[in-house]
């Protein structure tokens, strides 16, 4: 279950100096400084394993890049990897083991249920946790923790964008199909409130259990509902199964799909043409025009001969936030890193953004994209950017 990740490759395997914008002869680490020890908890098995593989790759790339440049604050970055098996119980168990072994800067879980299980134990473990994919508002709401930082978008951030975007929807009747766990329920209920506030109808809400393979009964209900468009908040294998069956059984394109975390790169790749022309939010694009993102994309292409995916980029970005905290604190102690990050401005792939002190939410721009064919491949193409100014205020339920 555990693997120690050590990068000792020759210079030919390091990220190219040109892409990194550096000239270097090899990594040099300061003597006497404790290393940065990262506990990478993500899904190597179970329903979230495809996303987990991308998150692992993104974090490992950030570590390789940092060590090629001499580490963080002169410290070598070390990482130990653990499989959360896509379940909260396993996630909590392996995260605790990592923290007890000294890998106290934790990162990488996919679903909110696992992130909630980890974040509730940070003080007891003397650890800190960096959320790169989990969206539930509870993580920065009634379950916020002083040592838990979300470096990605929350449901509330997505819905704030959707409220503005939905005002342009021509449809009047909607249905919801969302996964039956914390994130899916939060997403479906928030979307329903958003469109109902505009005088539109939600005629059907369906919450299939995680692991559903046959969506035909749900598709039959959606087809009979009279909904003109369907809000879809499914993820991973379930989402892939749904969109392929929706196409097969003629639900689409007759009824338009609108996606929450639906048009992710790995799901597009696995769905044939089922997501072609589908709109949804996207958390990252390789086209983001910032110096940090351009350097990241160039380095990634040099190593992998392709663009980074959304999961890979968000994981990379989360690792960069850890590195910024260590550098600002001059320490690897979770308490010191946490204190240094609260309220800090951080240079990220999204530009210079703030880690809000009230709830440890990174205030990011958000994007609407449409799946289009670019250079022979389908991928999300950004159609609209929404400024961080629309991000909702911190929840009054957050008490840190």
The CA-based dihedral angle spanning residues 21, 27, 30, 36, taken in that order and rounded to the nearest 10 degrees: 80
> In this structure, are 298 and 247 located in the same domain?
no
> In this structure, are 74 and 36 located in the same domain?
yes
Please, are residues 102 and 360 in contact by the beta-carbon 8 Å criterion? no
> In this structure, are 68 and 147 located in the same domain?
yes
Predicted model pTM: 0.84
Q: Identify the domain containing residue 11 by its residue range.
A: 3-153+287-364
> In this structure, are 302 and 338 located in the same domain?
yes
The average confidence (pLDDT) of the chain is 91
> In this structure, are 372 and 292 located in the same domain?
no
Residue found by looking up tokens 């300061």 in the block: 30
> In this structure, are 201 and 139 located in the same domain?
no
> In this structure, are 77 and 134 located in the same domain?
yes
Q: With bands split at pLDDT 50, 70 and 90, how would you rate the model's confidence at 26?
A: low
Q: What is the CATH number of the domain that holds 311?
A: 3.40.50.2300
> In this structure, are 223 and 99 located in the same domain?
no
> In this structure, are 374 and 241 located in the same domain?
yes
> In this structure, are 195 and 243 located in the same domain?
yes
Residue 397 within a domain:
no
> In this structure, are 380 and 340 located in the same domain?
no
Main-chain phi, psi angles of 148, to 5 degrees: -115, 130
**Number of independent structural domains in the chain:** 2
Residue 400 within a domain:
no
Structure tokens at 305: 């001969």
Q: pLDDT tens digit string along 172-227?
A: 999 999 999 888 898 899 889 889 989 999 999 999 999 999 999 999 999 999 99
> In this structure, are 242 and 291 located in the same domain?
no
């Amino acid at each position: 279950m555990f693997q120690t990740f050590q990068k000792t490759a020759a210079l030919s395997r390091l990220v190219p100096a040109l892409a990194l914008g550096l000239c270097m002869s090899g990594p040099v680490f300061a003597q006497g400084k404790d290393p940065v020890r990262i506990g990478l908890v993500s899904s190597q098995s179970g329903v979230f394993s495809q996303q987990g593989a991308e998150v692992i790759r993104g974090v490992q790339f950030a570590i390789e890049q940092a060590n090629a440049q001499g580490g963080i604050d002169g410290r070598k970055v070390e990482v130990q990897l653990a499989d959360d098996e896509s379940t909260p119980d396993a996630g909590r168990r392996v995260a605790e083991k990592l923290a007890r072994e000294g890998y106290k800067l934790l990162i990488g879980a996919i679903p909110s249920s696992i992130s909630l299980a980890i974040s509730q134990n940070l003080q007891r473990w003397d650890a800190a946790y960096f959320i790169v994919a989990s969206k539930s508002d509870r993580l920065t709401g009634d379950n916020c923790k002083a040592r838990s930082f979300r470096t990605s978008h929350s449901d509330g951030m997505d819905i704030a964008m959707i409220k503005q975007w939905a005002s342009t929807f021509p449809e009047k009747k909607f249905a919801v199909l969302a996964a039956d766990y914390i994130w899916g329920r939060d997403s479906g209920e928030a979307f329903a409130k958003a469109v109902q506030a505009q005088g539109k109808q939600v005629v059907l809400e369906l919450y299939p259990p995680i692991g559903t393979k046959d969506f035909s009964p749900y598709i039959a209900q959606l087809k009979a509902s009279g909904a003109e468009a369907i809000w879809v908040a499914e993820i991973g294998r379930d989402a892939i199964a749904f969109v392929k069956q929706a196409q097969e059984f003629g639900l689409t394109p007759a009824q338009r799909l609108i996606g929450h975390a639906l048009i992710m790169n790995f799901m597009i790749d696995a769905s044939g043409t089922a997501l072609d022309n589908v709109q949804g939010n996207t958390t990252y694009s390789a086209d983001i025009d910032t110096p940090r993102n351009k350097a990241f994309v160039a380095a990634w292409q040099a190593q992998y001969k392709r663009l980074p995916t959304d999961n890979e980029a968000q994981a990379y970005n989360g690792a960069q936030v850890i590195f910024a905290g260590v550098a600002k604190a001059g320490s690897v102690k979770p308490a010191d890193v946490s204190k240094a990050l609260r309220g800090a401005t951080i240079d990220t792939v999204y530009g210079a953004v703030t880690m809000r002190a009230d709830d440890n939410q990174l205030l990011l721009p958000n994007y609407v994209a449409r799946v289009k064919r670019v250079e022979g491949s389908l991928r999300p193409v950004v159609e609209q950017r929404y400024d961080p100014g629309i991000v909702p205020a911190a929840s009054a339920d957050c008490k840190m």
